[in-house]
Structure 1
Amino acid sequence: MSGPTEHAGLTVDLLAELSGDTMEATIGLAGYSLRMRAIEIAPGGQIAEHDHADRPGIVTVIDGSWIEGQPSGERSFDAASLGTFRETEETVHWVYNRTEAPAIALVCDITKVE
């Protein structure tokens, strides 16, 4: 099983970020920042297949429902249960919103400073 190659109906808002300087000064992690984003997928929208080889994170659905696809199959995460999943160095996945309403998740990840 493989996922879509393009994003569709996606809105990403950066809510907060700890700079590379702060990450280095506080925990000795040079060259990376910690960020919190709100990601909204419109009805029928999707996030393209991608990996997290160098960008670990945690995702919590706060409104609606996300369907996470992986090569091994699909899993559903919804806001009613604060559906949460990890994005590790082994994660390769994509996401769909198959509902008639927007679906929003908070995503916290560590990313390389550009």
Structure 2
Amino acid sequence: MLTPIVRRTIGATLAAAAFAGASPAIAGQCTAEGANALAGAPTAPKGVTDDVLGSIDLGPEIEVADRQLRMRKLVVQPGGVVPLHSHKDRPALILTVSGTIKEYRSTCAQPIVHKAGDLTREAEGISHYWVNEGKVPAVLYSADVHHGM
């Protein structure tokens, strides 16, 4: 059973997702476009919890086999890392709820700083990793279309 706060957060995230494509700018975007090879990127998580809050099998819902829409809560401790991963064929929206976190993205020459209230769009095959260089945990909610059931 989801708590009222989690239900409101999920609702707000999904509402933001519905309007994200129509918005000309999303906070915390790349300010220096360009290729980034992400040399030396971390490949293992560190100081991060990743809890699935809920999911929906998209096969019966909209006839998209072997996919699920899921909502996760990630807490990245100071010094913590969400390791290098790709969003090829796995779009997502990330809402930074509290704290500050840096994203190192394959399409951005400089890291992107995300703060509370920022919504990040992850799609079109980007690769990236996240690092919490702050002094407090960063709390993120992730809504993505994930492979496998």
Same fold (TM over 0.5): yes
Aligned residue in 2 for 1:77 = 114
Deviations 1:48-91 (A, max 9, x none): 11111121100010010111101322101111xx1111110321
Pairing 1:1-114 to 2, within 5 Å after superposition: 1-2=37-38, 3-19=41-57, 23-71=58-106, 72-79=109-116, 82-114=117-149
Matched position secondary structure for 1:26:
helix
Q: State the aligned residue count.
A: 109
TM-score (norm 2): 0.69
Give the aligned CA root-mean-square deviation in angstroms: 1.2
User: Using CA pairs below 8 Å that are at least 6 residues apart, which structure has the higher relative contact order?
Assistant: 1
More strand by share: 1
Residue type at the aligned position of 2:84: E
Structure 2 unpaired stretches of 5+: 1-36
CA distance in 2, matches of 1:94, 1:73: 13
TM-score (norm 1): 0.89
Residue type at the aligned position of 1:102: P
CA distance in 2, matches of 1:73, 1:50: 18
Structure 1 unpaired stretches of 5+: none
CA distance in 2, matches of 1:13, 1:43: 18
